[in-house]
Amino acid sequence: MIDYQIDDGLCVLRLDSPPVNAISLALLAELRAAVRRAGSDPQARAIVITGGPSHFSAGADLADFRATRTAADAQRMARTFQEAFAELEDCEKPVLAALAGKVLGGALELALACHQRIAAEGSQFGMPEVKLGINPGAGGTQRLPRLVGLPAALGLLLWGQSISAPSALKIGLVDRVCPGEALLDTARELLASSPLRRKTRERTDMIQDRPANSASLAQAESTVAASRPEIIAPRTILTAVRTGVEDSFDAGLAAERDGFCQCMATRATQNKFYVFEALRQAAKIDLPDATAEPTIARVAVIGMGTMGTGIVQALITAAIPVVAFDENPAALERGVAKIRASLAGRVAQGKLSDARAAEILDRLTLATDLRQMAGADLVIEAVFEDLAVKRSTLSLAEEICSAESIIASNTSTISLDRLAEGMRHPQRLLGLHFFNPAQHMPLVEVIHREATPPGLAAALLRFAKRIGKKPIPVKNREGFLVNRLLIPYLKEAFWLLEAGVEPEPIDRAMVQFGFAMGPFVLIDMAGLDILVLTDAVLRGAFPHHGGPPEIAVRLVQQGHLGQKTGSGVYRYEKGSHQPQPNPVAAGIIAEVRQGRRSFASPMSEGEITERLVLRMVNEAFSVLEEGLCQRPSDLDVAMVLGTGLADFRGGVVKYASDLGLEHVRARLTALSADCGPRYAPGKLLENPQSLIPNPFFPS
């Protein structure tokens, strides 16, 4: 794990623990021993600590966290890192960190404890701990402010974003930037010219301006005040930083350890770790060897509506040549104009160069003649969500493209078996369900049927990874994973309206629960017509879902489809996405309530949350019972990536597991008595063992 080399008076210690040089406690102990050895090695005038070209290190080994069962374990872990890095800092010989690739979390803290730092071009520096719901535990909250000052340090610690090598040089995080291949030579030259042993912990020049410090801390307080109460890491970071600046380095270290322990004990942090792991698990798909797979080099997309346009942009941005077809030339123009505007926006933000933007657009061919798609290896159908429209498009595509081509539908709900009826080669139809906006949303449901040859499913899963998406393999069934849960949830929200609850408290409750937006703001964005259409498909397959949500049906009948028509459940000023009360909707809601003899009757936030979230939970357990995904955590990953459900909830299945499945079953049974069979718990909940064990700190 630590490669020890003496090279002309320099002791080079190289972290060597693939794939990302994660710093396990074992590696840390080995590093400590190696530094001690170099410290007394007469051949070594100075020490260089380095790693691999793509990863100096991804930080502390998250696998070690699984063994963290108690607060004492967490204390011990943080103290071990802190003491190891303090010993390194006290080394009698100059220690220089030669950094390349990713330098994250505990790895950056290791570099901060070195006396000097140089970086290869292309390196990335970050303290992502806050994204895992923890504060750094290896001295980062103390050394970072002392090296780069409070504003830069708080930015890195509270947001967890990575910065580039030039930015790191600018804030003083590193002392030099050089080409990767010159890293060791630059280290040698710097150690020869200035063999410094400057201890970051003793530096005060960047934190001695007390009024400036107070101003930075006060500004950070307001940021932290806005963060979710469940996620305490921003607060513990601020407490540790403030203690270290206003009291002492050692007091700051103690506050850092305490904060680390408090974070580790929270459910929110446990769930963030669960989602981190679940995401990596989801990527592990048993794929047959690629030899049996068709190559996908050229792609055709049929339909340049909202989804088609987003899919085309995602593909050409991922270096895939695309032929985009739409029978309506105006739709083609609108689509390409949208892509141009989106790319121009990224150029304006400095995220893309003009040349790259032009390169991306060059990969796009617009077609008004279907025959132009003949050479495509993959044809993606992204036309309107209607069975007949999709079927005729699929059979047209079959006529045009070769028998070897894969045909994929971007349907969000319709069974592929129904879409394949009438196709000449139905076995080559799969689902490739992107999420809106497709150019940004990471999730893709890759849907396979009984008849799907494994090689085709594998080819699409690999293809989705190739274009930078997070694919989840799903067995074909109406609604697949996300919409199977989301549509009943949205429908239930409309039933709460009928029952007398107002839209605003329902939306507020779901934002409070952890969704990026409430159900009505979401459906206004996606379109109420989509809800009515997809619900019709699900009702056909799952009659126990109950009848159509009447308020939604009436709004659609009267043309209130949501943002795209300026009004849905809410009203929208031209060019604004800010929801305003919609008197028309209020009128329809009152009429439907009257018809149901129900009146405005408030419901507590807890009741609203239980009603909506347990509706998804029950559907989730049906999905697991039907074996539609490889593992329960895949369903959680799909809901977190596909619906904006916050990762601190872990996902719908994890949430139920945290509530306790006995309790969930009892609540569902009670709700089914009031609301009907859509809440009746399924077989999987009949003998509920804990489905997803808690990663650490058993409750």
Which residues make up the interface to ligand T1G (CB under 6 A)? Answer: 19-20, 22, 58-63, 81, 102, 104-106, 109, 128-129, 132, 134, 136-138, 140, 280
User: What's the distance, CA 272 to chain centroid?
Assistant: 11
CB of 577 to ligand T1G, least distance (A): 31
CB of 239 to ligand T1G, least distance (A): 16
To ligand T1G, the closest distance from the beta carbon of 105 in angstroms equals: 3
- Least separation, in Å, of the C-beta of 633 and ligand T1G? 13
As to burial, measured by CB atoms within 10 angstroms (0-12 exposed, 13-18 middle, 19+ buried), residue 165 is buried
Contacts of 669 (CB under 8 A, 6+ apart): 679, 680, 681
The first and second tokens of residue 490, run together, are: 């949205």
User: Would you say 113 or 357 has its CB closer to ligand T1G?
Assistant: 113
Residue indicated by tokens 């601020």:
238
Is 476 assigned a catalytic role?
Answer: no
Contact 651, 639 (CB under 8 A): yes
User: Least distance to ligand T1G from the beta carbon of 61, Å?
Assistant: 4
Task: State which H helix or E strand residue 603 sits in.
Answer: none
- Evaluated on CA atoms 554, 559, 564, 567, the torsion sign reads negative
d(CA 667, CA 680): 10
Residue from 433, 448, 545, 560 carrying the catalytic annotation: 433
Please state whether beta strands 95-99 and 364-367 pair in parallel, antiparallel, or not at all (unpaired): unpaired
User: Is-contact 691 258, C-beta < 8 A?
Assistant: no
Beta pairing class for 46-50 and 322-325? unpaired
Asked about 577 being catalytic, the answer comes back as: no
Query: SS3 for 51?
Result: coil
Nearer to ligand T1G, 94 or 101 (CB): 101
Compare residues 168 and 401 and give the one whose CB is closer to ligand T1G: 168
**Nearest to ligand T1G of 14, 475 (CB atom):** 14
User: Can you name the residues that pair with 443 across neighbouring β-strands?
Assistant: 470
CB of 126 to ligand T1G, least distance (A): 8
Give 99 or 407: the residue with its C-beta nearer to ligand T1G. Answer: 99
Q: Looking at beta carbons only, is 52 or 128 nearer to ligand T1G?
A: 128
Burial code of 397-430, b = ≥16 C-beta within 10 A, e = fewer?
bbebbeeebbbbbbbbbbbbebbbeebeebebbb
Write down the residue that tokens 């299945």 correspond to.
Answer: 653
In sequence order, what are the residues at sequence separation of 6 or more whose Cβ sits closer than 8 angstroms to the Cβ of residue 443? 435, 469, 470, 472, 482, 637, 638, 641, 642
Quick one: 155 or 294, whose CB is closer to ligand T1G? 155
Choose, from 123, 216, 483, 622, the residue flagged as catalytic. Answer: 483
433 included as an active-site residue? yes
Q: Which of 17, 412, 476, 633 is catalytic?
A: 412
Q: Which is nearer to ligand T1G, 126 or 642 (CB)?
A: 126
Cα(543)–Cα(660) distance, integer angstroms:
28
- Given the residues 109, 256, 385, 445, the one annotated as active site: 445
Distance separating alpha carbons of residues 310 and 436, to the nearest angstrom: 8
Coil, strand or helix: which one is 117? strand
Q: Minimum distance between the CB of residue 112 and ligand T1G, rounded to whole angstroms?
A: 11
Q: b or e along 311-337 (b: 16 or more beta carbons within 10 Å of the residue's beta carbon)?
A: bbbbbbbbebbbbbbbeeeebbeebbe
59 vs 145, beta carbon nearer ligand T1G? 59
- The least distance separating ligand T1G from the CB of residue 477, rounded to whole angstroms, comes to 28
**Contact between 684 and 621 (Cβ < 8 Å):** yes
Residue with tokens 């139809």: 429
**Smallest gap, in angstroms, from Cβ of residue 343 to ligand T1G?**
24
Q: What tokens does 139 get? A: 């001295």
**What DSSP state is assigned to residue 446?**
E
Give the span between the Cα atoms of 124 and 138, in whole angstroms.
19
- Pick between residue 285 and residue 361 the one whose CB is nearest to ligand T1G: 285
**Least distance from ligand T1G to the Cβ atom of residue 82, Å:** 9
How far CA 322 is from CA of 301, 364, 438, in Å, comes to 7, 5, 15
The residue count of the chain comes to 699
Q: Return the closest-CA partner of residue 172 out of 191, 200, 214.
A: 200
- Least Cα distance to 390 among 401, 379, 402 occurs for 379
Using the minimum distance from each CB to ligand T1G, give the nearer residue, 63 or 344.
63
Beta carbons of 84 and 90 less than 8 angstroms apart: no
For residue 65, the minimal CB distance to ligand T1G (Å) is 8
| Closer residue to ligand T1G (CB): 132 or 485 | 132
Task: Give the N- to C-terminal CA distance of the chain in Å, as an integer.
Answer: 35
The DSSP call for residue 129 is G
Nearer to ligand T1G, 66 or 371 (CB): 66
d(CA 201, CA 146): 7
Distance in Å, CB of 372 to ligand T1G, minimum? 36
Residue 293 annotated among the catalytic residues of the structure? no
Cβ 135 to ligand T1G shortest distance, Å: 8
Q: Are 316 and 364 in contact (CB under 8 A)?
A: yes
In order, the DSSP letters of 150-210 are HHHHHHHHHH---EEHHHHHHTTS-SEEE-GGGHHHHHHHHHHH------GGG--TTS--H
- Which residues participate in catalysis according to the annotation? 412, 433, 445, 483
